[in-house]
Chain A
Amino acid sequence: EAGVAQSPRYKIIEKRQSVAFWCNPISGHATLYWYQQILGQGPKLLIQFQNNGVVDDSQLPKDRFSAERLKGVDSTLKIQPAKLEDSAVYLCASSLVGTQGTEAFFGQGTRLTVV
């Protein structure tokens, strides 16, 4: 089956500019996650959707980050305005809902460099 697709793969922007990342999860996966991974650290959850509703956005810096998941499928994550400390890899993951076979599958990520 096709995996989680993310684009772009790489992005370089200047601070105070805006940027958007796109994610297409595995077909049929109701849960979608966005993670931020700073160099040398484990991924940190930014936001979790179930279908098109937000389940957890407690670690999303809402003054500059926003995310949406239209029609419960694709999702976009936006940063506006970007700061230097936003330089990181942004990972999207998806999983089924249930008690079995609900492991999360990750995309390759978008590497953002803010200069």
Chain B
Amino acid sequence: DAKTTQPPSMDCAEGRAANLPCNHSTISGNEYVYWYRQIHSQGPQYIIHGLKNNETNEMASLIITEDRKSSTLILPHATLRDTAVYYCIVRPRNSGGSNYKLTFGKGTLLTVNP
């Protein structure tokens, strides 16, 4: 079972920031927070991941609370092409072994409106 909770859907106006929340209150110290998104009819696409510090890359920013029980994915200037299902996933730090799987929940459907 997924260890995260996300709202089922959100709307955002084109050009505005999209802030997608995720609760992961049972996260352990050796687990990362990963974000993937899935555009219609495509496979999931990696966005970003973090352990405890905030992270930023060319796609998004990830803000993790100090207690690590929740996080927010920020798309700074959403475009119509950002319309997708966004998945928040917790995953152990060390790869290999059966616990290094990506367990997807239902995610958040973000709709970017013109």
Contacts and interface: CB of A to CB of B under 8 A. Distances in A.
B97 A103 contact: no
Contact of B43 (A50, A96, A109): A109
Chain B interface residue count: which class?
20 to 34
Interface residues of A, number: 29
- Interface SS, B side: loop
B102 A45 contact: yes
Interface of B: 2, 34, 41-46, 49, 85, 87, 93-98, 100-107
A43 B87 CA distance: 10
A56 interface: yes
Contacts of B42: 108-109
A55 B100 CA distance: 10
Given A42-B106, A103-B49, A104-B46, A48 B34 contact: no
5 closest Cβ pairs, A-B complex: A106-B43, A42-B104, A56-B98, A103-B46, A102-B95
